Amino acid sequence: MLGFITLIGFDFLKANAHAKLINASTNLASALFFFHEGRILFAFALPMAVANLSGAFLGARLAILKGNQFIRVFFLMLIAATILRFAWDLIK
């Protein structure tokens, strides 16, 4: 997503949409590979797929309703929370 913003000049909403498409493509390729190899743990994979699709659907609707500024603020808050969590893990 940051590459789309800094290198191509997309806004947060457009960059997020393109990043989601790339993420979905790599997830599908991984699923096909592991399915072909017979190594999918369906007890874990199916609930995770449902949760992922639900989150993507709700997140996309929220992004469309709230707009680019909301996505920017939410993204920066998520990055800050991740940095704080990693700092906490280092301190422990």
* CA angle (13 as vertex; 7, 19 as ends), nearest 5: 60
Torsion-angle region of 46 (φ positive above 0: left; ψ -120 to 50: alpha; else: beta)? alpha
Structure token digits, residue 15: 């960059």
pLDDT in tens, 60-70: 898 889 988 88
Domain of 30?
2-91
pLDDT digits (tens, 9 = 90+) for 68-90: 888 889 889 999 999 999 999 99
CA 27 to chain centre: 11
What is the tally of structural domains in the chain?
1
- Does residue 38 sit in helix, strand or coil? coil
Share of the chain above pLDDT 70, in %: 100
45-60 tens-digit pLDDT: 999 989 988 998 898 8
